[in-house]
Amino acid sequence: MSTLFWSLVWFIPVALLGMWLTALHNLRHFPHLKPRPLTHTPTVSVLIPARNEAGNIGRIVRDLLAQDYPAFQLLVLDDGSQDRTRDEALAAGWNDPRFTLLDGAPLPPGWLGKSWACHQLAQHARGEYLVFTDADVRWRPGALTALIAHQQEVGADLLTVWPTQRMETWAERLAVPLMSFVLLAYLPIRWAHSPLMHGAAAANGQCLLFRRAAYNRIGGHTSVAHKVLDDVHLALQVKRQGLRLRMVDGADLLECRMYRSFPEVVTGLGKNIVAAHAGSVALVLASMLFHLSLFVVPVLWLLHALAEGQPLQAMLAGLLVAAGIGLRGVTAYIARQRLADALLMPLSVLFMSAIALHALWNHLRHGGPTWKGRRAVVSHGTAYDHH
């Protein structure tokens, strides 16, 4: 057998072992959001940027206005929507003094749309705490109180929540869980929380809770105006400033269904792939090869060994396949996802590789991804939205 084959035989188990150790660390230490008493009730501004969210905005406004937290305002910014977002938001918040609908200003040069919308929301916010949340997040009863109480317990300058992801279509079930898989199998929670490891940071823009003073200190969304992964770069800014980043699992108090169809999955996940690899085509391709080696090559090896009647090789390949599927199962357990879907891990990696290739095509052919009618064009290391 070739040198490459035997290199893979050694490389795959070593890589999987490192990921297993990280996942088991997070299984033990990753915190979960839960109801707990408040020490005090600071004023909170809940901020929702909304562009073409007619199917979601009414629901989240009603969810939030039904929260039992006593001191909050709810601001929704309609970011040039071309559907009934504005009407649905007004109908849901009608006559509630806590609710305000803002009309977004035109997108200026050098800004991506979501960061610009969040920046405008922050300018109108009155709260000591700022909660940025996406329109497709569901806030269960008591979620806002639990969020503020958790912040008070851990003393976070930025508390980012990972909502429980709801998935129904096969495209969602194959691809969406890989977001939490990457977090839980690659980033030990203690590294993310350590003030000494400035580069070990992650965040989920579906729910970000800032102390207002910390948000202002890092420059708010102005500091990430052109960043496709604005949430991650906000977390990096927090750690670089010596502030406290904390992460927590939403534990069904916050839930999200990000996408509802095959095209939405491909476009939605694809828009972040190149940015997540520092804009490097080579890194995207290397990442694809890495994951194909870990989770698809062992399946091919197993099938070949069975076909050739090689029981020892079949056993070794089967152990690697089981290790990969088991790893996916551990992360599914932590993130409250379907455990049975872990069996689909090799197909998930193939599907995500196809999404990555599609994202690379958009990057090389068009300059960047398109989302909600805007294309994020990357030029000389800077991204900006245009229609």
Q: What local confidence, expressed as pLDDT, does residue 10 receive? A: 83
Kindly report the pTM of this predicted structure: 0.91
Alpha-carbon torsion angle 266, 165, 297, 359, nearest 10: 20
pLDDT over 50 (residue 383): no
Domain definitions of the chain by residue range: 3-27+264-382, 31-163+204-259
Q: What local confidence, expressed as pLDDT, does residue 351 receive? A: 97
Name which of 287, 257, 259 is nearest 352 in CA terms: 287
Mean pLDDT of the chain: 92
For the segment 174-187, the average pLDDT, to the nearest whole number, is: 96
| Residues written for the chain | 387
Cβ 177 vs Cβ 165: under 8 Å: yes
Q: What local confidence, expressed as pLDDT, does residue 225 receive? A: 93
Q: What local confidence, expressed as pLDDT, does residue 382 receive? A: 47
CA distance 8 to 14: 10
Q: What is the pLDDT of residues 302-315, one digit of tens each?
A: 999 999 999 999 99
CA distance 212 to 234: 13
Q: What is the pLDDT of residues 225-260, one digit of tens each?
A: 999 999 999 999 999 999 999 999 999 999 999 998
Q: What local confidence, expressed as pLDDT, does residue 155 receive? A: 95
CA distance 382 to 115: 14
What are the φ and ψ backbone dihedral angles of 21, each rounded to 5 degrees?
-60, -40
pLDDT over 60 (residue 387): no
Side chain identity at 1, as an amino acid letter?
Answer: M
Edge to edge, what strands does the sheet with 164-165 contain? 137-139, 254-256, 164-165
Cβ 199 vs Cβ 247: under 8 Å: no
Q: What is the pLDDT of residues 8-46, one digit of tens each?
A: 678 999 999 999 999 999 999 999 999 988 989 999 999
Select 31-163+204-259's CATH number: 3.90.550.10, 1.10.510.10, 3.30.1330.10, 3.10.105.10. 3.90.550.10
Q: Strand pairing of 137-139 and 129-133? A: unpaired
> What is the DSSP secondary-structure string of 35-66?
----S----EEEEEEESS-TTTHHHHHHHHHT
Side chain identity at 284, as an amino acid letter?
Answer: V
CA distance 152 to 33: 13
Apex 31 CA angle, 30 and 34, nearest 5: 155
pLDDT over 50 (residue 93): yes
Helix residue ranges, H only, 50-209? 57-65, 85-93, 113-124, 143-154, 170-175, 177-186, 189-193
